[in-house]
Amino acid sequence: MKKIPIGIQAFSSLIEGGFVYLDKTDMIYNIANTKACYFFSRPRRFGKSLTLSTLHEYFDGQKDLFVGTKMEKLETKWEKYPVMHFDFNSENYDSVEAVKSLISFFLSDMEKIYGYDSNAESNSQRFMNLIKNAFNKTGKQVVILVDEYDKPLLNNISNKPLQEKIRAEMKAFYGVLKTCDKQIKMAFITGVTKFSKVSLFSDVNNLKDISNTLEYSSLCGATEKEIHDELDLYVQAMADFNKISKDECYKQLKIWYEGYHFSEDSEDVYNPFGLMKALDEKKFNEYWFESGTPSFLVEIIKKHRMQLVDLDNVKRTLPQLSKIDNFNDDPVPLLFQSGYLTIKSYDPILKRYSLSMPNKEISEALPTFILNFNFPKTDGGEFDITNFIEDVLNGDIDGFMKRFCALLADSSYEIVGEAEKYFQNVFYLIFKLLGFYTEVERNTSDGRMDAVVKTPQHIYVFEFKLDAPAQEALDQINSKEYALPFAVDGRKLYKIGVSFSSETRKVREWVKE
């Protein structure tokens, strides 16, 4: 059994080190043999850097690295081209000078090979001269590879003045791709997100966005077939370690790490980082989410006071999902492009996608993160989320409500917008973490109940009222027969009316039945 790769981004290290490689070289071959400037976005740790490294080795003529891959049967010439590889993943970019400095560093390395023009006054001029020098010196067109192009922009998503300065600098840099079109064989640009092509890549006439195409939907990530073909022994080992059947292990891996769709017709794709970590450690855990919280996710929560309930089955068109320039108005495109939401279905008549969280890792980790971010005390002590869960599992409504009241009283969370919606969202967050069925604003024949929660032994029907007696909320549950659909369910049913104060922003009282 080969070693499982964790965080290895260099194709040569993967092959020479004897690691498992999910062979994508047939798609690499198709991309490499089309003269175009490609743009490809995927969430972090999804394999974008490995894709660029594979392209780099291919264009560098490293035939021996591809022995045994699909590429070996496709490529016969193995020509060597000058490759210019820019990686923006390593810096924090707290100034436009930091961006300029890193670009200058990359250019200096390549100028040692292809020559330096002392008359160049800017990085864009140096880049243009470098491409022409490489073309003239080698007689070959140049390959341009750009990894995580958007890191400088994402790091300053809440600092618009600085972001605009960085955008202007990078726009001039990428404009060279048009100026030197005749000297460029191909370009491949990757990132997590899609800042508007109009604002950043407007000068690149032939930019081809393959992020949401069916043909390249599995270029990054793992498919079901790849796991069965290449990782079956590792799944068996994980199953044996956990004392479950191999079929059950496959089922759990699918629940935890699959569910990503990047076009309406694409097959399911697994998060490769989470999958490989699970197989390596033989445990199901939130590996991808815990590998690092990007700063922009924190900014989204701060800016929008994220309402998790509004992210379930959210609907957007492809143009709405294809850029994040309107982040201040709509966080959904950024959440989609960064992997926290994914395509679940498509309406061809309305040309609209339905999106939800992709898998168990996200549906458990994201609510926890949002709750702990807004209510820090929920990650330990009296307010630890497991205490809430224990109360609900035991049918201890008073215990849960007392803990919930204390949580709100101790929190400095600023309520923005409709107060009742805020309270409903906090309930939803906590109940969602149970891992059981949770639904808000469920329609009935005579109205819409505020919340329903189901555990193995209990069903809870909640109704919330703002500045009105809790008994009024309970009476509404009874008068509109919200509990009727569960009459023959067999589980113990609780009806709870909760009253909130718009003045104090706290729970006034609750009654149960």
Structure tokens at 298: 């924190």
Torsion-angle region of residue 94: left (phi > 0), alpha (psi -120 to 50) or beta? alpha
Delineate the domains of the chain, giving CATH numbers in brackets: 11-209 (3.40.50), 224-290 (no CATH), 295-360 (no CATH), 375-512 (3.40.1350)
Instruction: Classify 443 as helix, strand or coil.
Output: strand
Residue count of the chain: 513
**Integer Cα distance of 87 and 66 in angstroms:** 23
CA angle 130, 132, 136 (to 5 degrees): 115
Residue by residue, pLDDT tens for the chain (513 residues) are 899 999 899 999 999 999 999 999 999 999 999 988 999 999 999 999 999 999 999 999 999 999 999 999 999 999 999 999 999 988 889 999 999 999 999 999 999 999 988 788 899 999 999 999 999 999 999 999 999 999 998 888 888 899 889 999 999 999 999 999 999 999 999 999 887 655 677 777 778 999 989 999 999 999 999 999 999 999 999 999 999 999 999 999 999 999 999 988 888 999 999 999 999 999 999 999 988 777 777 777 777 766 666 677 889 998 888 776 666 678 888 889 889 999 999 999 999 999 999 999 998 888 878 777 766 655 555 556 677 778 888 889 998 888 878 777 655 445 444 666 667 677 777 777 666 666 766 655 566 778 888 888 999 998 988 889 999 999 999 999 888 888 888 899 999 999 988 777 678 899 999
At 309 the pLDDT is 66
Kindly provide the b/e burial profile for residues 24-56, where b requires at least 16 CB atoms within 10 angstroms of the residue's own CB.
Answer: bbebbbebbeeeebbbbbbbbbbbbbbbbbbbb
**Integer Cα distance of 314 and 320 in angstroms:** 12
Q: Is residue 413 a contact partner of residue 370, using CB atoms and an 8 Å limit? A: no
**Edge-to-edge, what's the strand order for the sheet holding 507-512?**
438-444, 447-454, 458-466, 492-500, 507-512
**Of 202, 136, 132, 212, nearest to 167 (Cα)?**
202
Residue type, 268: D
**Of 227, 243, 229, 244, nearest to 279 (Cα)?**
227
At 416 the pLDDT is 45
At 476 the pLDDT is 93
**Of 8, 27, 28, 30, nearest to 19 (Cα)?**
8
At 413 the pLDDT is 45
At 207 the pLDDT is 85
Q: Across-strand partners of 353?
A: 316, 346
- Which uninterrupted H or E stretch holds 230? helix 224-230
Kindly provide the b/e burial profile for residues 92-124, where b requires at least 16 CB atoms within 10 angstroms of the residue's own CB.
Answer: ebeebeebbebbeebbeebbeebeeeeebeebb
pTM to 2 decimals? Answer: 0.86
What is the DSSP secondary-structure string of 328-383? Answer: TT--HHHHHHTTSSEEEEEETTTTEEEEE--SHHHHHHHHHHHHHHH-GGGGSGGG
At 412 the pLDDT is 46
Q: Is residue 48 a contact partner of residue 147, using CB atoms and an 8 Å limit? A: yes
Instruction: Classify 228 as helix, strand or coil.
Output: helix
